[in-house]
Amino acid sequence: MSSKKKTWSLSRNGNFWGWLLISPLTLGLTIWVLFPMGLSFVTSLLDWDMLSKPTFVGLKNYLGLFTGDGLFIQSVIVTLYYTLLSVPLQLGAAFTVAMLLNSRVRGLGIFRTLFYLPSLLPSVVVSVIWLWLYNKQYGLLNAGLSALGLDRIDWINDPRLVIPSLVAMGVWGIGNVVIIFLAGLQGIPKELLEAVEIDGGSAWHSFRNVILPLMSPIILYNMIVGIIKSLQLFTEPYIMTGGGPMNASLSFMLLIYNNAFKYGKMGVANAMAWVLFLLTLALSVAVFKSSSKWAYSEGDGK
C-alpha cells in the first residue's frame, strides 16, 4: 500500500515539474501565437476601421476579396510570380556558390565572408542600396550600360522588369542559404565520394549519385523557407516602388498593409492574412508531399 502511494506521489510530483518546465513555452505559444491568430480570425469577420464600433459581417470580407476586389487577384498573381522566379533562382545560385566555397582554394575564408555579409544587412538598408543601383539617371548599373554604349534601363519603373529586378536583388542576399548548403556539403562522408572515384566515376557521377541525394533534405528545407519568405514579400516593394508601376509590384503583404493602415479596412486586411496563411500552408504541404519522390531519406530505403 505504501509502495503504491509513494509511486503515485512521485508520478504526481513529476507531472507538476513537467508542466512547470514547459509553462514558459506554453504561455509564449498561447500569448504570442494562438491568441493573436484567434483575434485575427474574429477581426476578419468584422467591418472595423479601428476608430468606430466594429460591425459583424460574417464571411462578407472573404467573399469580397474574390468577387469585388481586383487588386486582391493582382496581388496574388504578383506574389506567385515573384515566388516562382525567386525560389528556384536563389536555390540554384546558393547551391552553386556553396559548391564553389566547399572547394580548396586560397583565401576561402574571405570569399565565404563576402558572400555572407549581404545577408546581415537589414531589408530596409538593402532596399535603399538597390534603389540607388537601379536609378536610371545616376545608378551604377545604368552607368555600366552607358559605358558599354547601351541604352539605360528603367529597372523598377517598367512593369515588365520590376519583379525580375526585385528577384535579382534577392539573389544578392542568399548568404544564409549558402551557409546552410555549405554545412550540408561538409557533412557528406568523403568515403562515398572516394568510392565513386575509385569505380571510375566522374565529377558528374559524384554529384548525381552522392551529393544531390544526400543534399535533397537540405534543398527541401531551403525550398520551404524560401517559399514562405517569398510569399511575405513586403519591404522591397513598399520602399522601392510602393506597389507600382501600374500595381506590377503590389505584393500580397503590401496590399494587406494598405488595407489595414492606409484604407482603414482592418477586417478585410485580416481576411487577406488568413487567405495568405492558407495559401502558404497549401504550397508547403504540396512541396512536402512531392518530396517523397525526390528527397532522400535514410528510412525509406532510397
At 3, list the grid cell. Answer: 509502495
Most confident of 13-22, 104-113, 250-259: 250-259
pLDDT at residue number 4: 54
Residue 12 has pLDDT above 50, yes or no: yes
pLDDT tens per residue across span 210-242: 899 999 999 999 999 999 999 999 999 999 999
Structural domains in the chain, CATH included, are 69-291 (1.10.3720.10)
Residue 14 has pLDDT above 90, yes or no: no
Return the ∠ at Cα 241 (arms to 76 and 226), rounded to 5°.
50
Residue 143 has pLDDT above 60, yes or no: yes
pLDDT at residue number 45: 93
Per-residue confidence band for 293, with pLDDT thresholds at 50, 70 and 90: confident
Residue 140 has pLDDT above 80, yes or no: yes
Place of cell 543601383: 133
**Torsion sign over Cα 223, 228, 231, 235:** negative
Question: What is the rounded distance in angstroms from the CA atom of residue 174 to the CA atom of residue 181?
Answer: 11
Contact 302, 214 (CB under 8 A): no
pLDDT at residue number 215: 92
pLDDT at residue number 302: 47
Residue 176 has pLDDT above 70, yes or no: yes
Q: Give Cα 93 to chain centroid, integer Å.
A: 16
DSSP string, 127-171: HHHHHHHT-TTT-HHHHHHHHTTPPP--GGGSTTTHHHHHHHHHH
Place of cell 484567434: 38
pLDDT at residue number 17: 75
The arithmetic mean of pLDDT across residues 165-179, rounded, is 92
Extract the runs of DSSP E, i.e. beta strands, from 175-248: none
The arithmetic mean of pLDDT across residues 183-187, rounded, is 90
Contact 246, 16 (CB under 8 A): no
Question: What is the rounded distance in angstroms from the CA atom of residue 285 to the CA atom of residue 282?
Answer: 5
